[in-house]
Homo-oligomer: A and B are copies of this chain.
């Protein structure tokens, strides 16, 4: 299922500043084949839900290697059957 997702990954238990961890996550997302764009509260990712889930597991494994024992994730996404719509299409439709 193709989706446009908004993913937010919150490392828990490692202090209030999490930017070093977010940088590592960003590197994993950038190295993937998925179209992604980071914003101030998360990352928009376009792709098959299955591939995004695999990416999430890679991010969690990396965080675990860095000592993060608990991770909180939020993801919202929509799927549509009436037409194909990319992240760029979504933004263009409301500009």
Contact = CB atoms under 8 A, between A and B. Distances in A.
Contacts of A42: 6, 76
Total copies of this chain within the assembly: 4
- The A contact surface, by secondary structure, is mixed
B16 A93 contact: no
A92 to B, nearest CB: 9
Given A39-B91, A40-B87, A73-B79, 20 more contacts: A3-B73, A4-B40, A6-B6, A10-B72, A16-B69, A16-B80, A16-B82, A19-B93, A19-B94, A37-B39, A38-B91, A40-B44, A40-B90, A41-B77, A49-B53, A69-B82, A70-B81, A72-B72, A73-B75, A75-B76
Interface of A: 1, 3-6, 8, 10-19, 22-23, 26, 37-42, 44, 49-50, 53, 56-57, 60, 64, 69-82, 87-88, 90-91, 93-94
